[in-house]
Structure 1
Amino acid sequence: MFLLSLSKRIVPVPILAVVVATQLFLIRSVSSMNHTNAYLYHKCSEMEGKYKPKSAYEQNLNFLISDMYKDTFVRGFVYANHGEDPNTVYILLQCRGDSYGSKCGSCLSTATSELRRRCPMNKAGIVWFDRCLLKIFPTDFFEKIDDKNKFYMYNTKKVSDPASFNGKTKALLTDLTAKATRRSDKLLLYETGEMNLGNMKLYGMVQCTRNLWITVCKTCLDKIIGELPKCCDGKEGGRVVSGSCNFRYEIYPFLEIVQ
């Protein structure tokens, strides 16, 4: 198991996406990694404009955030709105599938602070951390795929047989998508798993925000998995992260595998 030290450079790509090229250095143990909550990226939307201090929009936003802190986060997900048009605020919190409860609440606190700092007075914005994403918007986005807010991260190290590795990576992520979107009582829209690759293993994770239905979640995941060649061709690890779904794969364990 290993702890990651990340050296990043951000390269703009079309449709409001970014590529985060990440050189991963293996230092200690990945068990420690589950206790970190690294900032990943943010996007402030200018199209929706800004709100004024002490305005109805700000009051509605503050009410929503304050009300969210009363949650126990056992589901790791909150989608709520407050206020009347044109000052209605919609908010989404989605925590990673292994980070519910107190970890989710802690991530909300961090994400709220960072979103206010990085997108001051913006009516719309989104911020991603390892353990959660937080999004605010002035119109309802329930059941809508957000693929405009998107970025890539990848390990700059390449595997020795890219074609074979790419195929197996896609197969693992496709299988996890099928499991995450099967009809069940849980409907977590989250799945992790692993695949044997000779003398090493490939680990993967897929997740959707739970404001999506199963079929829409599958559409979202299928779309970003289709971006594997663009994002992570032959790379030892990588992610595609959007405002509605994400995947990650590595050749080391980075999460607790769901059985």
Structure 2
Amino acid sequence: MSSIVGLIPVLAIVTIQLLLLGSVSSLNVTNEYLHHQCINSQGKYKKGSPFENNLNSLLRSLPTTGNLRTGFHDTSNGEGPNEVYLRRRCPGNKGAIIWYDQCLLRISTIHGYGKVDYDHKFYLSNPNKVSGNPLSFNKETSAFLEKLTYKASDTKNVDNLSMVLYAAGEKKLGTKNLYAMVQCTKDLAFNSCLACLKWILREFPKCCDGKSGGRVLSTSCNFRYELYPFLRT
């Protein structure tokens, strides 16, 4: 949905993207808040402005998880140079991101559909450390996440001709089971998904060194691993 130029600047284009697990969801049915970022570089809008009116209208029409079958939604409302794409918890910000356990919502003045967002990410880690050899655990966990990365971004990974861009699995580590998943937003191509997942996997040493669980989330892709089941099919 590209910007429309040459029109009277009275309306805003708003794009909202949601990333859900589709047929797979978290065992955490409360979908708790995880993190948010206000994108101050994209400026503010005034109360009662056309931008705010279009944004509020679009947020009210946001699809529910019940009818969001593909796990991804991108929509717009309005036209003109006041382009926008997610927002919440950042009053007046034209750009914002909010992550929940099972979804993310993004508004931006930059149309990022089909492009990897390399500017916004964060990570969470399990406070518990692994028992035994942490170096060996790190190596095996990283290798398993990399294996899932290539599976998720494989051109053969389709469902009814639709790209899945998702993979999950479990692996035996000694007496324990390792559970992991990787995922990209469905606007990405296979090669873009692979690039995004490789990018966030480089954060593994920062988030997850010797930790029994961890996850890195951007607006374009994410990964998670734990020593307990955290997904519900």
Scaled by the length of structure 1, the TM-score of the pair is 0.73
Q: Which has the higher strand share?
A: 1
Aligned with residue 90 of structure 1, among 85, 94, 112 = 85
Aligned partners of 2:179 and 2:81: how far apart in 1? Answer: 45
Measured after TM superposition, the shift of residue 65 of structure 1 is 2.3
Structure 1 residue matching 2:76: 3-state secondary structure:
strand
2:60, 2:44 → 1: CA distance? 20
Q: 2:152 aligns with which of 173, 180, 186?
A: 180
Shift of the alpha carbon at 1:82? 2.8
1:133 paired with 2:89, answer no
1:157 maps to which residue? Answer: 128
* 8 Å contact from structure 1 (residues 82, 90) kept in 2: no
Could you tell me how far apart the structure 2 residues matched to 1:73 and 1:79 are?
A: 11
CA distance in 2, matches of 1:127, 1:32: 17
Report deviation, 1:256.
Answer: 2.8
Any stretches of 5+ residues in structure 1 without a counterpart? 1-30, 92-114
- TM, length-normalised to structure 2: 0.81
> Which has the higher relative contact order, 1 or 2, with Cα contacts under 8 A spaced 6 or more apart?
2
Where 1:82 maps in the other structure, the secondary structure is coil
Provide, for residues 129-181 of structure 1, a one-character-per-residue CA deviation record: whole Å limited to 9, x for no partner.
Answer: 00100000122111222132111111122222111111111111111111211
Question: 1:35 maps to what in 2?
Answer: 29
Q: CA deviation at 1:32?
A: 9.3
How many residues in Structure 1 have an aligned counterpart in Structure 2? 203
Tell me if structure 1 keeps the 8 A contact 2:128–2:212: yes
CA drift of 1:53 comes to 1.8
Q: What stretches of structure 2 of length at least 5 have no aligned partner?
A: 1-24
Q: Give 2:114's aligned residue.
A: 143
> Does the 8 Å contact 1:82/1:88 carry over to 2?
no
Q: Aligned to 1:122, what secondary structure does the other structure show?
A: coil
Change in CA separation of 1:32 and 1:52 when aligned onto 2, cut-off 3 Å: closer
Query: 2:56 is matched with which residue: 41, 62, 83?
Result: 62
Give the CA deviation at 1:241: 1.1
> Counterpart in 2 of 1:121?
92
> Over residues 54-77 of structure 1, what are the superposed CA-to-partner deviations in whole Å (9 max), with x where a residue is unaligned?
211112212322333388101111
Residues of 2 paired with 1:83 and 1:169: CA distance? 46
The reply on whether 1:254 has 2:230 as its aligned counterpart is yes
**In 2, distance between residues paired with 1:236 and 1:248?**
11
Contact 2:84-2:95 within 8 A present in 1 as well: no
Shift in CA distance, 221/72, structure 1 to aligned 2, threshold 3 Å: same
The amino acid of 2:199's aligned partner reads K
Mapping 1:67-86, distance limit 5 Å: 67-69=61-63, 72-86=67-81
